[in-house]
Amino acid sequence: MNMPDPQAFATSWMNQFTDPSVWQGWMTMPTMTPPGAGSNPLAGVLKDFGAGIAPGKLESIRDDYLRKAGQLWQDFISGKSPELHDKRFSSSEWREHPMSAFSAASYLLNSEFMLALAEAVEAGPREKQKIRFAVQQMVDAMSPANFFATNPEAQKKLLETKGESLTKGLANMLADIQKGRISQSDESAFEVGRNVGTTPGKVVFENELFQLIQYTPGTATVKAVPLLMIPPCINKFYILDLQPENSLVRYVVEQGNTVFMVSWRNPDRSLGNTSWDDYVETGAIKAIEVVREISGQDKTHVFGFCVGGTIAATALAVLAARGQQPAASLSLLTTLLDFSDTGVLEVFVDEAQVALREQTLGSGGLMPGRDLATTFSALRPNDLVWNYVQQNYLKGKEPPAFDLLYWNADSTNLPGPMFCWYLRNTYLENKLKVPGALTVCGVPVDLGKIDAPVFLYGSKEDHIVPWEAAFASMSLLNPKNPKANRYVLGASGHIAGVINPASKNKRSYWVNDKGGKHRPKTAEAWFAGATENKGSWWPEWAKFLAENGGADVPAPTAFGTEKYQPTEDAPGRYVKARAD
């Protein structure tokens, strides 16, 4: 069978999904002639699909659609209200208005058909992922809940408020146009250093790339080994220190640890030539050096979250190549070292897209934080885009105060050379996992040379770092001593799974401590033998730190040293800088 070029096919689909007027009529009404026939707006597209789907599979999908569409039409004529098993249509207004219920049911049926076609396309894994993503984006955008003319909730609100909701909605939309993004939280309710990022401490070192915060001890004695936390540079560190009741920083301080935090600078044009090597050498390695000097300890716990974990592990591999082993332990949260499975982010990374970024940013410049934020919102459009279109614009509501979403909107830029190196060498070519395949800071990188106990954490519903991909680090670190590695799996997603306070006893986590010949080699085998525990995984990590933290010693009574004098209160000024 002749198949269209998968990349061109995916691009063609993406291009056809940009005009809502073409799609909405069909998406909210069933037709006894499936998409692609007659004057249907999808005419011609099914021809492309037909070239990429086995005839028998295509016929089965069409037959199923015709059967369900016929039944839906008969139910409508007879006055039977359809069942709507979708939270977007859960309010009573959708069920009380027959046409609204029929519109929503038709949309769900047609969405099911489109996604079935996308799933049936015979293409390579990457190309198929792009096609699925493009179709899902279109399907989500065309929900009748997203348009005033087909949203009975918004129409009712208009009547109840005598037009005030529409006026307020337009004002909200115009304000967001000025900001260049959709408001997801009441941003006036929060201020970094006032009610988020409030764990007390002092900035004890800074250079052009980061500030180092030392936190005030929370106990009379602490473990001798300090803890250095390296957050992702793609967003701000205070996700780990939101409000006191959900601050991971405050928790580990209260568990008897001397805690240091890297607060990355929000790059401006002066840092437009900063490289990945700079983030490793001038960032992570310098932070490790300063923490050791201030604490007087040969070793420090090293913690990395997301890309902060990739930077931390790379830094320790560089130091190992130089004959240094400064880590008492390494903790990696939702971190990729093996980029074989990058989840839905894979749709944004291919040779053409990376080459384009290299052409525009590889020699200097900034990857705007706004663009990065838009990309991540597109991964969950119903939750992070269309929900706010419906609430803020169609109904004229103000978004509620939510600390996590306030942080989510506080984006950061990335230096172009650093960003391009990261895309090509990890996401595209997956070289970091191969011993010696990459040279960083002048030495070959081999993650297997890091000599430290390892704590790995993944989130079960993570769409950015699939938990199986986080588990893959188990085979890269301590290859000659796998029993030194421990993996814990938490419930929920990339952020909510990590920020799961022990005091609230919510959600659950899984552990599997089988060792020896029974030690699981794959993520699937690990989960099959894992035990689920109710509550937060934080105590598991605290126990790991304590086991590798050395003796109890009196807590420090001063910040820094004579060489590293404190300069300002935590959280410091770097974290307060907004992206351009």
**Residue 533, phi-psi category: left (phi > 0), alpha (psi -120 to 50), beta (remainder):** beta
CB 417, CB 364: distance < 8 Å: yes
Q: Of how many residues is the chain composed? A: 580
Q: Which of 187, 172, 173 is nearest to 410 (CA)?
A: 187
CA distances 519 to 34, 509, 512, Å, are 51, 19, 9
Which of these is catalytic: 233, 306, 420, 441?
306
Q: Which of 442, 433, 444 is nearest to 479 (CA)?
A: 433
- Enumerate residues 6+ apart whose C-beta is below 8 A from 418: 274, 275, 276, 278, 279
Q: What are phi and psi of 126, to 5 degrees?
A: -65, -45
First to last CA, the chain: 50
Q: Which of 24, 556, 30, 545 is nearest to 255 (CA)?
A: 545
Q: What are phi and psi of 229, to 5 degrees?
A: -105, 125
Q: Quick one: tokens of 125?
A: 């894994």
Q: Quick one: tokens of 464?
A: 């950015």
- How far from the centroid of its chain's Cα atoms is residue 353's Cα? 20
Any bridge partners for residue 509, and if so which?
490, 533
Q: Quick one: tokens of 154?
A: 């918004």
Return the DSSP state at 208: S
User: Beta strand pairing status for 414-415 and 259-264?
Assistant: unpaired
- Its sign, for the CA torsion 278, 317, 469, 212, is negative
CB 487, CB 518: distance < 8 Å: no
Return the DSSP state at 383: I
**Residue in this structure with the two tokens 């680090």, named with its chain if needed:** 473
- Its sign, for the CA torsion 538, 249, 328, 236, is positive
- Enumerate residues 6+ apart whose C-beta is below 8 A from 438: 425, 431, 432, 444, 445
Radius of gyration for the alpha carbons in the chain, expressed in angstroms and rounded: 26
> Burial level of 81, CB count in 10 A (0-12/13-18/19+)?
middle
**Residue 43, phi-psi category: left (phi > 0), alpha (psi -120 to 50), beta (remainder):** beta
Strands (E) across 413-518 are located at: 414-415, 439-440, 443-444, 454-459, 485-490, 508-511
Return the DSSP state at 146: G
Q: What are phi and psi of 565, to 5 degrees?
A: -80, 140
Q: What are phi and psi of 255, to 5 degrees?
A: -85, 5
**In whole angstroms, what is the distance from residue 170 CA to residue 80 CA?**
36
306 is catalytic: yes
Annotated active-site positions, please? 306
